[in-house]
Amino acid sequence: MPGPVLVPILGDQLTRDLASLRGRTKDDSVILMMEVWDEATYVRHHKQKIALIFSAMRHFAEELRDAGWKVDYTKLDDPDNAGSFTGELARAIERHDPRLVSVVEAGEWRVRQDMEQWADKFACEIEILRDDRFICTQAEFDAWADDRKELRMEFFYREMRRKTGLLMEDDGKPTGGEWNYDSENRKPPKDGLAAPERAKFAPDSVTQEVIELVGDRFGDHFGSLDTFGWPVTRDEAEEAADAFFAERIECFGPYQDAMVAGEDDLFHSMLSTSINLGLLDPLELCHRAEQAYRDGNAPLNSVEGFIRQIIGWREYVRGFYWHQMPHLQKANALNAQRGLPEFYWTGDTDMACLADCIRSTRDNAHAHHIQRLMVLGNFALLAGIDPREVQDWYLVVYADAYEWVELPNVAAMILYADGGKLASKPYAASGNYINKMSNYCAGCTYSPSKKTGEGACPFNPLYWHFMDRHRERLEKNHRIGRIYATWDRMGEERQRDYLDSAESFLETLEPAGAGWARAD
């Protein structure tokens, strides 16, 4: 009798519509799911991230068993656990003697490299299938990217709109006449702006068990477990999506770039963890958003904005990652060398905006996009923090972080470390931007209107310090180069004030040292 087909399913592949399950029969297949030490510790992930992934994996295994599949599941505390995907696969091959191992390609370079060794390591046939949960294939992305010097998301996004037909009219024109309503996504928060609370899910016994395991084994990792409320099953994720479409999508568009102290989710969908795990289908969400617009239940700027984030940015960064790996990991076009300040881990800083974003990150394993980009990211860019340290931080702290999505956002979008392939200019901003788009400054010891010296918002001198030290490169950039006329008009004394203020501030930064993100 030939052995069964062994189907390994990784922690971010939790859908029954996975390519490796399609066409399989239940009596001829064994599904393999593995909690492994290597994945839980290659960086010291936020506790909620590990709890979320293990709980969602355990629930998905139950769902498969209830549907009649045979599931072989190794828990982290299984005494024989080999600690790695390859080690666990070897043990499973011994147990089941499969005729074929059929697996969907891993989302991350690190794991895909290991997977590609499996055919040489194991005697049985190994089949690695394309992950067709993405709308754009890598071949399509590469064909689009290969003859371009600059890879702008906007043009890629238009291709995805045409491909999916989302927000497209019969005459081939975009709905509403414009491709992009970004200019209607920048409303500053009005006083007292608050959003309905997102759907949170009290841990059931499976999640509770995992929370205890994580507290026990990873108790010294960053972050809190007390506030865990992520959806861990498809039903819960759908309930969270229902709540977003019923209560928050209307204001999602206008307030997409707004920040309010203590309003951690604002009008964002909070669905990235579920989408990335496989609990929600991104294309289905986009169709739902479009329907909400067509039914008159949500404005076009909200719906287009939401769809752009998913079929635009999400698809684009995934294509960009595989197009630019492995060198993207080491890219450092601006030669940034400073260590990550310790306050990124402790939240102990007088800068109210950073303190609030880090608090939300610690409590929720989440911060919304503009906090990640224009507060946490902007500071790392202006202060010249080493990209490898910033990459590690973002990979550790967010429950939705996988390298394929984290790395392009960090290295290319916030740090300009790719030298401008992804972004047409660095997302550098002074305190003025944060003051306009948030209420943080009202509760800060620093003043955004003070430019230099004691009490000045540190973003102000840091902005000019950054511009000055990268003049040679940025002066040629048509989107930012004109700023140097303003700099030159200031005169030497004023310029010196800015540079001295920035340098005095930079001297006060305590580097975090080793051990926070990766084990020593």
- Binding residue for ligand FAD (CB under 6 A) from 309, 435, 452, 501? 309
Q: Which does 10 bind (CB under 5 to 8 A by kind): ligand FAD, ligand SF4, ligand DLZ, none?
A: ligand DLZ
**506 DSSP β-pair partners:** none
Q: Is 462 helix (H, G, I), strand (E, B) or coil?
A: helix
Instruction: Return the number of the residue (136 or 413) whose C-beta is nearest ligand FAD.
Output: 413
Q: Which of residues 331-390 bind ligand FAD (CB under 6 A)?
A: 368-369, 372-373, 377
The binding track of 276-305 with respect to ligand FAD, each residue x by CB under 6 A or -, is x-----------------------------
Handedness of CA 184, 189, 194, 200 (dihedral sign): positive
Beta carbon of residue 507, minimum distance to ligand FAD (angstroms, whole number)? 26
- Binding residue for ligand DLZ (CB under 6 A) from 6, 14, 31, 39? 39
- Binding residue for ligand DLZ (CB under 6 A) from 6, 92, 93, 111? 111
Q: Are strands 125-129 and 29-34 parallel, antiparallel or unpaired?
A: unpaired
Instruction: Return the number of the residue (386 or 406) whose C-beta is nearest ligand DLZ.
Output: 406
- Binding residue for ligand SF4 (CB under 6 A) from 31, 275, 358, 457? 457
Instruction: Return the number of the residue (38 or 497) whose C-beta is nearest ligand DLZ.
Output: 38
The binding track of 312-341 with respect to ligand FAD, each residue x by CB under 6 A or -, is -xx--x------------------------
- Binding residue for ligand SF4 (CB under 6 A) from 167, 285, 300, 352? 352
Beta carbon of residue 257, minimum distance to ligand SF4 (angstroms, whole number)? 15
Q: Which does 106 bind (CB under 5 to 8 A by kind): ligand SF4, ligand FAD, ligand DLZ, none?
A: ligand DLZ
- Binding residue for ligand DLZ (CB under 6 A) from 82, 106, 199, 383? 106
Q: Round to whole Å and give the CA distance between 430 and 448.
A: 8
Other residues' Cβ atoms within 10 Å of the Cβ of residue 183 = 8
Q: Single out the segment in contact with ligand DLZ by CB under 6 A; choices: 30-38, 284-292, 312-320, 434-442.
A: 30-38
- Contact (CB, 8 A) for 255 and 269: no
383 lines the binding site for ligand SF4 (CB under 6 A): no
Beta carbon of residue 345, minimum distance to ligand FAD (angstroms, whole number)? 16
Instruction: Return the number of the residue (340 or 351) whose C-beta is nearest ligand SF4.
Output: 351
How many alpha carbons fall within 13 Å on the CB side of residue 301? Answer: 15
Q: Round to whole Å and give the CA distance between 264 and 356.
A: 9
**Cα 331 versus chain centre, distance:** 19
Q: Is 299 helix (H, G, I), strand (E, B) or coil?
A: coil
Measure Cα distances from 171 to 68, 174, 258 in Å.
47, 9, 35
Q: Round to whole Å and give the CA distance between 185 and 248.
A: 14
DSSP letter (8 states) at residue 32: E
**Cα 172 versus chain centre, distance:** 32
Measure Cα distances from 66 to 61, 70, 169, 438 in Å.
9, 10, 43, 47
Q: Round to whole Å and give the CA distance between 296 and 291.
A: 8
- Binding residue for ligand DLZ (CB under 6 A) from 7, 21, 32, 50? 50
- Binding residue for ligand FAD (CB under 6 A) from 211, 406, 437, 483? 406
Sheet strands side by side (includes 5-8): 70-74, 29-34, 5-8, 100-104, 125-129
Beta carbon of residue 297, minimum distance to ligand FAD (angstroms, whole number)? 17
Q: Which does 434 bind (CB under 5 to 8 A by kind): ligand FAD, ligand DLZ, ligand SF4, none?
A: ligand SF4
Q: Round to whole Å and give the CA distance between 509 and 1.
A: 66
**Cα 455 versus chain centre, distance:** 33
- Binding residue for ligand DLZ (CB under 6 A) from 7, 10, 210, 407? 10
82 lines the binding site for ligand FAD (CB under 6 A): no
Q: Which of 130, 108, 263 is nearest to 198 (CA)?
A: 263
Q: Is 426 helix (H, G, I), strand (E, B) or coil?
A: coil
Q: Tokens for 187, please give them.
A: 């409303």
Q: Single out the segment in contact with ligand DLZ by CB under 6 A; choices: 10-18, 224-232, 257-265, 341-349.
A: 10-18
Q: Which does 394 bind (CB under 5 to 8 A by kind): ligand FAD, ligand DLZ, ligand SF4, none?
A: ligand FAD
Q: Give residues with Cβ within 8 angstroms of 62, minimum separation 6.
A: 206
277 lines the binding site for ligand DLZ (CB under 6 A): no
DSSP letter (8 states) at residue 187: P
Q: How many chain residues touch ligand DLZ (CB under 6 A)?
A: 16
Beta carbon of residue 418, minimum distance to ligand FAD (angstroms, whole number)? 13
The DSSP H or E segment spanning 436 is: helix 431-437
Q: Round to whole Å and give the CA distance between 403 and 410.
A: 10
406 lines the binding site for ligand DLZ (CB under 6 A): no
Instruction: Return the number of the residue (98 or 461) whose C-beta is nearest ligand SF4.
Output: 461
434 lines the binding site for ligand SF4 (CB under 6 A): yes
Q: Which does 108 bind (CB under 5 to 8 A by kind): ligand DLZ, ligand SF4, ligand FAD, none?
A: ligand DLZ
Q: Single out the segment in contact with ligand DLZ by CB under 6 A; choices: 8-16, 191-199, 351-359, 390-398.
A: 8-16
**Cα 238 versus chain centre, distance:** 20
DSSP letter (8 states) at residue 83: S
Q: Phi then psi for 207, rounded to 5 degrees?
A: -65, -40
Q: Round to whole Å and give the CA distance between 51 and 214.
A: 6
Binding site for ligand FAD (CB under 6 A): 268-272, 275-276, 306, 309-310, 313-314, 317, 368-369, 372-373, 377, 394, 398, 400-401, 405-406, 409-410, 413-414
Residues of the shown chain interacting with ligand DLZ in the complex, contacts defined by CB under 6 A:
10-12, 34-36, 39-40, 45, 50, 53, 106-108, 111, 402
